[in-house]
Amino acid sequence: MSQLNTATIHGLTTTEAADRLRQFGPNAIPEPKPQLWRNLLKKFWGPVPWMLEVTILIEVILTRYVEGLIIAALLVFNALLSTWQEKHAADALALLRQDLKLKVRILRDGAWQVLTAELIVPGDALHIRMGDILPADVRVLEGNLQVDQAVLTGESLPVEVGVGQMAFAGTLVQRGEATVEVVATGLHTRFGRVAQLVQEAKHPSQMEQVIFGVVRALIGLDGVLAAVVLGYALFVQHFSALETLSFVLILLVASVPIALPATFTLATALGARELARAGVLVTQLSAIEEAAGMDVLCSDKTGTITQNRLSLVGLYPQAPTDEDTLLKVAAMASDPATQDPLDLAILEAAHQRHLEPEWAQRRSFTPFDPATKRSEATFESAETTWRVVKGAPQAVAALCAAPPSDLERQVETLAAQGLRLLAVAQGSESALTLSGLLAFQDPPRPDSAALIAQLKHLGVRVIMVTGDGEATARAVARQVGIGEQVCQPAHVEAAAADPSACDVFAEVLPEHKFALVQALQRAGHVTGMTGDGVNDAPALRQAQVGIAVANATDVAKAAASLVLTQPGLGNIVAAIQASRRIYQRMRTYTLNKIIKTIQIAGFLSLGVILHGLFVVTPLQVILLLFANDFVTMSVSTDNVRPSPQPDRWQVRSLVSTALALALPLLLATLGIFQWGYGVLGLSRGQLQTLAFITLVFTAQWMIYLVREHGHLWASPPSRWMLLASTAAIGMTILLAATGTLMAALPLPWVLADLLLVMGVLLLLDTIKVFLLRRPLRTT
């Protein structure tokens, strides 16, 4: 500290801070930047690239240099496109994470201001509160902290840090407040020398696991077909071994969703950006998928359902205490530094009545603790020491020697009016006397009732969770339309088993929230949880969709998967709708892929068995992949409608629907090929061209068929989808009509094929609407 030339505790000037920022660098742990060239090279290593590379080698051995060169060019293009998409998604998420950086209260130029933790420099004065994550190594100047250092030392018990003592970056403030001076930042902190402040590990989400499970099953099916084709071509038709191997490899490649990783990443990244515009910041991409299936939301009351603008609306003193004395005692049990809304409301009312507490005589203060449900202070004068306590009426009454007999009735009467009550007591260390009750009002937000009705319409059951008493909780829940069934925390298992058992949980402690989330999950519910404090962190982490509300502590934000930037439930509704739109896009892609795989693999295999020829060339299959798979990446931008009910993946339902659509499509494809083979008398090359354009046309139409439960014209697709499909169909017609990279077909026949495919797909659309009269719940 002597080297920093900091002689006072009044903080730094902007100029001094800028100089030290240049000297010590940002207060951040540098993250290794991904190397684009390394990511690009990885695109050429793996099962799919290997099969394509072997195919290129076979084409060269067979002296088909043009085909080999084109396949190689398309492989390179795939690698470049995937790398660019991943970088684009990573950049978008990095931009969003800028809004999730720790914010700290810094004394600069003699004034307190809120800045990001990256701008902290040694010598800065900070104010630290309960629930904060320490952003740097600091020395306490004023106040006391209780700090959880488990992240550094593994100690399970918190440690007390007083004036002159050190606390370290990355540790959690469990209790207390203090003004501190920064000693070290970034890599110079103790934590910086050990690990990063935040480490993110991506684990496969439910959506990814389901999709890849479907893909593995399809590859297994194609493996069987490939073996049959290989044996039939070699031992029955006596085809060339190299040509047969090339065809079999391409058959397998056609079943692998090459664009899946890029499509999935792009869809979730775009969804995160969409949510950011709606006031929801995403810390875990998996939450976007989980929110689509969320069917229960445990919502905090204060600041989410209500306005979190508490005002003191009533004083109810107990004789011989009068109103002024009651208010003054309550102010003595409060502290402006806590920024607690109740404390601020009490102090504001006391100030308006010119009732100033004797701060000089205060010897100790304990902020409100959810476990004890009270705050208290000790005062000393020349003659005596006395204690003042304020908190929940039941908790304070339990400390009093002789609480009034009608206290419980008075509390119930006032709470039934939707008022929040605090009791105040004063006396000696061993004998407290109840001074009276204070009534506060935190009215529901004007939009809460409408938003809760909207959540219910979306199939999400809302449970209000609050520390208030039963009467207050019931009054608020009734006003916003949640219900009137109020339960105690002991009934969490009953609430999980019976959706109608409890609408509200009152007198809840943080551990009860965690137990409630676990009970709901055991009952099979995808559960969301809102919270704002450090004690909410376990429940936020446990919930599939942990939601840190506006003005939440750093710990709550770190534990949550979604962070709201505006108060209320409106952002949650937006998050559910956005996640369901993302689900619909991925469902469209997956269902489309299953149908195409069954169609293509079946058609290519039956072509060899029925007609003794390869119905498409390896080059045409690669062109087909680019015309289909990479065009369907535009599905990530589709203007889909969110599902009316929670969405979950159900592979059996998904596959049965795909089979019901794929088998008629396969028969139609074989029929069109037979029309060209038996009626038009096309040559082998022209038949392959006819098969190629039929597969392209059916795939393009199928995207629009499966994106809607209703008819394919029920809602407009995105312009990117239309542009991509138009380009794919246009290029296919051009290649076939001009004989580029394939045998030429007369343009009238190409257009006739397009019209035939349109007719087939319109018929399939009617079948689909019949099958999906009930919304497809891929649960």
Positions annotated as catalytic residues are: 300
Question: What are the Cα distances from residue 642, in Å, to 209, 338, 582, 583?
Answer: 22, 42, 8, 8
For residue 748, the Cα-to-chain-centroid distance in whole angstroms is 51
Give the residue from 612, 578, 576, 615 showing the smallest Cα distance to 599.
615
Residue 695's CB is within 10 A of a number of other CB atoms, namely 27
- Tokens linked to 12: 């730094």
Burial 657-693 (b: 16+ CB within 10 A, else e): bbebbbeebbebbbebbeebbeeeebeeebbbbbbbb
Length of the chain: 779
* Long-range contacts formed by 392-399: CB under 8 A, 24+ apart: 392/421, 392/422, 392/423, 392/467, 392/469, 393/421, 393/422, 393/423, 393/437, 393/469, 394/469, 395/423, 396/422, 396/423, 396/424, 396/425, 396/432, 396/434, 397/423, 397/434, 399/374, 399/425, 399/432
Distance separating alpha carbons of residues 430 and 19, to the nearest angstrom: 55
Distance separating alpha carbons of residues 666 and 338, to the nearest angstrom: 69
- Give the largest CA-CA distance in the chain: 115
Distance separating alpha carbons of residues 516 and 496, to the nearest angstrom: 8
Distance separating alpha carbons of residues 662 and 597, to the nearest angstrom: 9
Give the residue from 146, 138, 482, 460 showing the smallest Cα distance to 301.
482
For residue 566, the Cα-to-chain-centroid distance in whole angstroms is 16
DSSP state of 301: S
Which residue is associated with the tokens 């902020």? 367
Give the residue from 663, 675, 664 showing the smallest Cα distance to 745.
675
Question: What are the Cα distances from residue 763, in Å, to 253, 592, 670, 775?
Answer: 30, 17, 16, 20
- For 72-107, the three-class secondary structure string (H helix, E strand, C coil) is HHHHHHHHHHHHHHHHHHHHHHHHHHHHHCCEEEEE
Per DSSP, the residues of 418-442 read T-EEEEEEEE-SS-EEEEEEEEEE-
Half-sphere exposure of residue 666: CA atoms within 13 angstroms, side-chain side? 20
Give the residue from 309, 316, 308 showing the smallest Cα distance to 438.
316
Give me the torsion for CA of 390, 392, 394, 400, rounded to 10°. Answer: 0
Structural contact between residues 490 and 519, judged by C-beta atoms closer than 8 angstroms: no
Residue 386's CB is within 10 A of a number of other CB atoms, namely 18
Which residue is associated with the tokens 């029925």? 610
Peptide bond into 444 cis (omega under 30): no
For residue 556, the Cα-to-chain-centroid distance in whole angstroms is 14
Distance separating alpha carbons of residues 174 and 534, to the nearest angstrom: 7
Per DSSP, the residues of 262-293 read HHHHHHHHHHHHHHHHTTEEES-THHHHHHHH
Per DSSP, the residues of 146-188 read EEE-HHHH--SS-EEE-TT-EE-TT-EEEEEEEEEEEEE-GGG
Q: State the burial class of residue 622 (Cβ atoms within 10 Å of its Cβ: 0-12, 13-18, 19+).
A: buried
Half-sphere exposure of residue 411: CA atoms within 13 angstroms, side-chain side? 22
Range list of β-strands (E), 638-721? none
